[in-house]
Amino acid sequence: MTELQETEMLKKELFGLFQYIQRVREEIVAIERDADDVHQFESMSDQLDAIVKATEEATETIMIAMEGNEEAVVELKKTITDPEQTALLVKIVENGQKVFEACAFQDITGQRVTKIAKSVTYVEKRVNALMDIWGKEELEKVEIKPEEKKTEDEKMLHGPQLEKENSLGQSEIDALFD
């Protein structure tokens, strides 16, 4: 192999390596933020927090309602003497206890979400370390190529909105149907 051929081969390899490094940079930036410049890790963390909060609120609402039912049953028991009706009231209380037991899902959900949040944090730290190596200023210059074009309808679909996002309130949604 001549020196000219070796030089050409080295140039090709070097160019291929450069393209590979550029692709890695683009992927790192794509992990950190999407084409709409939304920081993915922040968004994931907010969504996980919203899941925990929503399940806690739903569980609390269910438990308060069930406690109210149990209090009503206790009051009804004082006025009812029919054994069949009393047995139905006992059945209502037993069903309420099953609901309380089922509400334990919230604690399990919180534990699982915490595990996921720790994993997301671990990945975020690794990505941030790579970003520090390459320099955040350089990576901010990298343009993210969208994977697929979104329709106008898809752009509006973001699922349930977080409280701090510009989400519509129930009254605003109701007004759309008036």
Average per-residue pLDDT in the chain? 78
End-to-end CA distance of the chain: 80
> Which pair of tokens denotes residue 42?
């922040």
Map out the domains of the chain as residue ranges: 3-143
φ, ψ at 155 (rounded to 5°): -65, -30
138 or 154, which is more confident? 138
Burial of 149 (0-12, 13-18, 19+ CB in 10 A): exposed
Q: Give the pLDDT score at 7.
A: 83
pLDDT given for residue 72 in this prediction: 96
Whether residue 80 is predicted with pLDDT greater than 70 in this model: the reply is yes
Predicted pLDDT at 37: 54
pTM check: above 0.75: no
Residues with Cβ < 8 Å from 77, sequence gap 6 or more? Answer: 86, 89
Encode pLDDT of 29-67 as tens digits. Answer: 776 665 555 556 666 777 888 888 888 899 999 999 999
| pLDDT for 161 | 62
Of 74, 72, 64, 75, nearest to 99 by C-alpha is 64
Token pair belonging to 101: 């037991």
pLDDT band at 137 (very low <50, low <70, confident <90, very high): confident
pLDDT digits (tens, 9 = 90+) for 148-172: 666 666 655 555 666 665 555 666 6
